[in-house]
Amino acid sequence: MLLQRVITAVVLLALLLPALLASTPWPFALLSLLLIAAAGWEWARLNGVAAVAAAGPGVLLALAGAWAVHTGSFVRTPAAWWWGVTVAWIVGGALVLRGGPAGWPRWPAALRLLLGLLVLWSGWLALAQARALSVNFVLSALCIVWVADIGAYFAGRNFGRRKLAPSISPGKTWEGVAGGMVAVWLLALLWLGYVDRALPVDGSSLFGHLHTRLGWAGLLVLSAALAGLSVVGDLFESLVKRAAGAKDSSRLLPGHGGVLDRVDALLPVLPAALALRML
């Protein structure tokens, strides 16, 4: 299993890094679109669509994304869209999580499918536009999710006592959430003190933008809020998988599960990062 995980990670990095560092944003947009299209197939299967028919949502996402790249519209999304998506994640996420795994199947199947497509489309669009802003910006946003997850794991493992959502993800604790937020604060300090100052970056990071516009207080509050949103995204996908009786969203990524398993926490954070960038 460990060898599979390492090989898959190396292959993904070998594909994604050159696209990320390309002189134009469209190679990364197209490559990430393939992954999101695969996630659309996984979402459809988790929500009861037959294996062959489940390819339809993935193809739809791929075509819509290809059109956005071709027309250049993927870099011109208005701020109102990102704020709307962020509010929808906060309100809708709370409603879905409150209903638990038993409540999810009660939603109309068509609505569940449409919701997933909108979530995946918005996540990809935010990722592509963040890359268009700068490599520094998109990496700072991505690292919030990765570092929050690492901090939550270690804090939860060593200090976790109070369960966060036992019916959805029994291993998550409130102490883990707090640990993830603290880890993101440390990341923000590192990014501002070293990456933005000492490295030849191509633009402002998310941390640099928040610090410039809102000062230290705003940076700390909103960084913690983004870490919290990453937990919402993770729990949301866990709820859907538990309702479907699935451990992983698929086996597309050997050793890692499916694409949704890897991007779930990014889906609410990236649109929120774009909304904050518009401040």
pLDDT tens-digit profile of 142-172? 999 999 999 999 999 999 999 999 999 999 9
How far CA 220 is from CA of 24, 201, 214, 216, 233, in Å, comes to 32, 22, 10, 6, 20
pLDDT tens-digit profile of 78-96? 999 999 999 999 999 999 9
Q: Is the pLDDT of residue 51 over 90?
A: no
Per-residue confidence (pLDDT) for residue 2, from 0 to 100: 65
Cβ-contact 233, 180 below 8 angstroms: no
Average pLDDT over residues 97-117: 95
Average pLDDT over residues 121-130: 97
Cα–Cα dist 172/166, whole Å: 8
| Percentage, residues of the chain above pLDDT 90 | 92
Model confidence at 256, in pLDDT bands (50, 70, 90)?
Answer: confident
Per-residue confidence (pLDDT) for residue 190, from 0 to 100: 97
Q: Give phi and psi for 246, each to the nearest 5.
A: -115, 145
3-state helix, strand, coil in the chain (%, to 5): 80, 5, 20
pTM reported for the whole predicted model: 0.96
Per-residue confidence (pLDDT) for residue 277, from 0 to 100: 96
Mean pLDDT of the chain: 95
Residue type, 197: R
Bridge partners for 169 per DSSP: 165
Per-residue confidence (pLDDT) for residue 9, from 0 to 100: 87
pLDDT tens-digit profile of 132-142? 999 999 999 99
Two structure tokens written together for 133? 């802003």
Angle at 235 between CA 106 and CA 118, to 5 degrees: 65
Q: What is the DSSP letter of 106?
A: G
